[in-house]
Amino acid sequence: MSKKPFTQNTSRAPVSQRSQPAEQVKNKHFLGGMVTVTIDHMEVKVPMGTTILDAARTVNIKIPTLCHHDDLCLAGVCRVCVVEVEGQRTLQAACSYPLFHATKVKTYSPRVRRARHNILNLLLKNHIGECYSCEKNNNCELQKLAEEYGVTEYKFGHRDTPRYARDESSFSLVRDMDKCVLCKRCVRTCIDMQEVGVLESINRGQETKISTYLDKPLNDVICINCGQCVNRCPTGALTEKSNVDDIWKAIDDPEKHVVIQTAPSPRAAMGEEFGLKPGTSVTKQMNTALKRIGFDKVFDTNFTADLTIMEEGTELLLRLKKALVDKDPDIKLPQFTSCSPGWVKYMEYFYPDKLDYLSTAKSPQQMFGALIKTWYARKHDIDPKNIVSVSLMPCTAKKFECERPEMDDSGLQDVDYALTTRELAGMIKECGIDLPNLPKSNFDDPLGIGSGAGLIFGATGGVMEAAIRTAYEIVTGEEIPFEKLRVKPVRGMKGVRKAEVPIKSAKKEWKFLEGATLKVAVGHGTANARKLMDMLASGDLQGYHFVEVMACPGGCLGGGGQPVPTSAEIRQLRANAIYAEDETLTVRKSHENPIVQQIYAEFLTEGPCGHKSHELLHTGYTVRGKWIGKQGASPSGKKKKR
């Protein structure tokens, strides 16, 4: 049964579109608790307020849906899920009809079947683009419905000329509105789930289309590039901007040294693209596949995740020292994480006056990029100009991040291309590689060692957990007092989580922290980020030291570049895979990563937050604001020359 764990507590949805939480209804004493309904002759007892769709699911009756998504608030617009409800003159949308009375429901009466058939034909009428040339071929909900309901001809005709220009302005996303069926999932994702609100319908009748503010290109509005809309689009109307061709070109060029860093989340989800159950980790098979495809080196982003912890953790401790010992009034606390490019851009748009709260540490992707074309290039005597630095990310915003104009501290663009999990899956398939049955292989040296702490960056709360594992030990000299290093209070899928870690004793240089309690908070999804920012404004984060925010629900493992579909259950399984893999590793703390120790010994010799670190591993942010047009937001830096 759908629990809508994520959106139930967001606020922007119109009242009518919010789900009716059963527990709220239960509290109204005059309504009682449960209701018994009959669906296709089967009796179902459900809490009052449950929708017909959810009630039917409890007895394995499948009602087709298109606009409904378990992560999102209700819409009831596609009408594919209509059913007969006894006593109602018209058919009712099962997804949005709450049950309060004993009722009889029929899910496949002749009227229902006729209606569904007609509605599907109507949807297909203006949906243009051939299935076999569509990125969502075989993973398209409309295609599947057409098949299930036996649509063999376009009963009401079929448009053959495009109506809209493709919007390819964004670094991350492509909008092809000719494939849009106006289910509004993207609208609800953007405004309700993420509370960004870039997309909304414009016009009426058949002219209706999903658009942006003043119908501007996506790159010119306040899109944070998170790609959550792509994850929920039932058709191929929203896809990521593909870099696959660029990467093939680099691989095919013998002059180029093509290296790829892989983030922790794709490996926990890549299997889904190859028919494996969600939560099947394929790290080492993927390494083999990448080498077979032709990448010269396969590295682990977990390494720079560890480096991020060193830099960001040290930055935090320095901030604490300046605030608590030096009493510097300009020091901003709590420090917010900065590894999620969607979140960073969200801050730049919505809270440009709060950018000082963000850690200046770059994201692991960008730290990696900066080191590849400097340290690695020098060490292996490769001309950095010949290095093509690719990253495998669960994320569409990473495509934007690597194009940020300031990300060129190596003297060149630090990361050339960011690939999503889905894009790489396509490349692997194109090579005829049977990923699940590949032999396993390790990452390449020297940037192939990451700790478990770096790995759990993929899950919401992971950065915080990694930071606590390291910072606590730096300050106290002791391991954190959690069983098997599991910092349970920051784990889980609750929108906003808080935790406190008391520091009983501290080493000499951190004596000022002795007896203090480290207070941290974690939020995922920008709707929850907004809550945290509201808390910051109202003073509810007073006394907090460190806050982790990831733009996507579930953290990176629920990123906009991950396999489609997504749901709370799938995200949980991916998280389980990541946490399980963490426990198989011998090195589970960032500061114990031998390569991290090595790089500080031989390259970043001034230590974390030292001069060289600042040059390569730290960055600044752009005040963008929400104003579009004259006042300023240039939502993106212009693409640079290569």
Partner 1 sequence: METQRQGPIIFSGIAPDEGLKAALGQSRADVIGEVRNSQIKGRGGAGFPTGVKWNLAATAQGERKFIVCNADEGEPGTFKDRVLLKEYARTVFEGMVIAGYAVGAQHGYVYLRGEYRSFGPHLEQVLQQMEDEGALGDAILGKKDFHFDIEIRFGVGAYVCGEESALIESLEGYRGEARNRPPFPTNTGLHGSPTVVNNVETFAAVPHIIAKGAEWFASFGTEKSKGSKLLSVSGDCRKPGVYEVPFGTSIKQILKMVEAEDTKAVQVGGASGTCVPKKEFGRVIAYEDLSTGGSVIVFNSRRSLIDVVHNFLEFFAEESCGQCTPCREGVPVLLEYAEKLRAGELTRNELGEVYSLSETMQLASKCGLGQSAPNALVSILEKFPKECPLSTSQRKELVR
Sign of the Cα pseudo-torsion (285, 291, 295, 297, in order): positive
Which residues, 138 to 197, sit near partner 1 by CB under 8 A? Answer: 155-157, 181-182
Amino acid at 37: V
Part in contact with partner 1 (CB under 8 A); list of ranges 119-127, 136-144, 172-180, 369-377: 119-127
Side-chain-facing half-sphere of 60: CA atoms under 13 Å: 0
Q: Out of 39, 56, 94, 123, name the contact with partner 1 by CB under 8 A.
A: 123
Cα(523)–Cα(539) distance, integer angstroms = 17
Look up 95 and say whether it is catalytic.
no
Of 86, 406, 583, 606, the catalytic one is 406
Listed in order, strand segments (DSSP E) in 254-336 are 257-262, 297-300, 335-336
Q: What's the DSSP call for residue 636?
A: S
Look up 465 and say whether it is catalytic.
no
Part in contact with partner 1 (CB under 8 A); list of ranges 130-138, 200-208, 444-452, 618-626: 200-208
Taking CB under 8 A as the rule, does residue 20 contact partner 1?
yes
Listed in order, strand segments (DSSP E) in 362-402 are 387-393
Look up 130 and say whether it is catalytic.
no
List the x/- string, 387-406, binding to partner 1 by CB under 8 A.
--------------------
Instruction: For helices 110-125 and 141-148, give the axis angle rounded to 10 degrees.
Output: 140
Q: Out of 200, 296, 473, 540, name the contact with partner 1 by CB under 8 A.
A: 200
Query: Which CB sits closer to partner 1, 200 or 540?
Result: 200
Query: Which CB sits closer to partner 1, 20 or 139?
Result: 20
Query: Which CB sits closer to partner 1, 182 or 556?
Result: 182
Query: Which CB sits closer to partner 1, 68 or 319?
Result: 68
Total residues belonging to the chain: 642
Part in contact with partner 1 (CB under 8 A); list of ranges 112-120, 230-238, 245-253, 344-352: 112-120
Cα(35)–Cα(104) distance, integer angstroms = 12
Q: Out of 24, 36, 203, 598, name the contact with partner 1 by CB under 8 A.
A: 203
Q: Which residues contact 15 (CB under 8 A, 6 or more apart)?
A: none
Look up 315 and say whether it is catalytic.
yes
Q: What minimum distance in Å lies between the beta carbon of 210 and partner 1?
A: 10
Taking CB under 8 A as the rule, does residue 247 contact partner 1?
no
List the x/- string, 32-71, binding to partner 1 by CB under 8 A.
----------------------------------------
Cα(368)–Cα(599) distance, integer angstroms = 12
Cα(425)–Cα(413) distance, integer angstroms = 25
518-536 core/surface letters (b: 16 or more CB in 10 A; e: else)? bbbbbbbbbbbbbbbbebb
Nearest to 119 by CA among 89, 91, 88, 85: 91
The CB density around residue 177, as the number of other CB atoms within 10 Å, is 17
Between strands 42-47 and 82-85, the pairing is: unpaired
Q: What minimum distance in Å lies between the beta carbon of 530 and partner 1?
A: 19
Of 403, 556, 590, 613, the catalytic one is 556
Q: What's the DSSP call for residue 375?
A: I
Q: What minimum distance in Å lies between the beta carbon of 118 and partner 1?
A: 4
Nearest to 216 by CA among 523, 545, 634, 590: 634
Taking CB under 8 A as the rule, does residue 115 contact partner 1?
yes
Query: Which CB sits closer to partner 1, 112 or 393?
Result: 112
Write the DSSP assignment of 199-218 as a string of letters. Answer: -EEESSGGG-EEE-GGG--G
Q: What minimum distance in Å lies between the beta carbon of 120 and partner 1?
A: 9
Taking CB under 8 A as the rule, does residue 207 contact partner 1?
yes
Q: Out of 23, 60, 87, 90, name the contact with partner 1 by CB under 8 A.
A: 90
Q: What minimum distance in Å lies between the beta carbon of 30 and partner 1?
A: 9
Look up 406 and say whether it is catalytic.
yes
Cα(78)–Cα(21) distance, integer angstroms = 22
Look up 242 and say whether it is catalytic.
no
List the x/- string, 535-574, binding to partner 1 by CB under 8 A.
----------------------------------------
Look up 423 and say whether it is catalytic.
no
Look up 479 and say whether it is catalytic.
no
Q: Provide long-range contacts, Cβ within 8 A and 24+ apart, for 497-505.
A: 497/461, 497/521, 497/522, 497/523, 498/522, 498/544, 499/464, 501/468, 501/472, 503/472, 503/475, 503/476, 504/476, 505/476, 505/478
Between strands 546-550 and 335-336, the pairing is: parallel
* Contacts with partner 1, residue ranges (CB under 8 A): 14-17, 20, 28, 74, 76-80, 82, 90-91, 93, 96-98, 100, 111, 114-115, 118-119, 122-123, 125-126, 155-157, 181-182, 200-201, 203-208
Residues annotated as part of the active site: 312, 315, 339, 359, 398, 401, 406, 556
